[in-house]
Amino acid sequence: MTPKEKAKELIDKMYYIGRYDDREDYIPVMAWERAKQCALIGVDVILVDCGAKDWSGDEACDGKKYWEEVKKELEKFKLEDCGC
C-alpha cells in the first residue's frame, strides 16, 4: 500500500467511527478534521516508537521512512480528497 493510500485508509477509518456519533451537533467537516488529526496522532505515536527502539536493519529504517511518508500525505490531505 502506498503512503497516500495508507493516509486515506487511516482518515477513512477515523472518520467513519465519528460519523455514527449520535450527537446533535455532528458536523461532517469537523468530523473529518478530527479524523485527520487522530490519524496524525496515530502516525506520530508510531514514529516516536520507531525512534525509541534500536533499529539495526534496513527493513526497520524503511518502515520508519514509510510512516514518515504517510505523515506527509496526511498533512497534504484535503477534505475533497476523501470522497466523504
**Which residues lie closer than 8 Å to 63 by C-beta, 6 or more apart?**
50
Per the CB < 8 A criterion, the answer to whether 32 and 84 are in contact is: yes
Per the CB < 8 A criterion, the answer to whether 31 and 21 are in contact is: yes
Query: Which pLDDT band, with edges at 50, 70 and 90, does 4 fall under?
Result: very high
pTM above 0.85, yes or no: no
- Give pLDDT tens digits for 16-60: 776 655 666 667 778 888 889 999 999 998 888 777 555 555 555
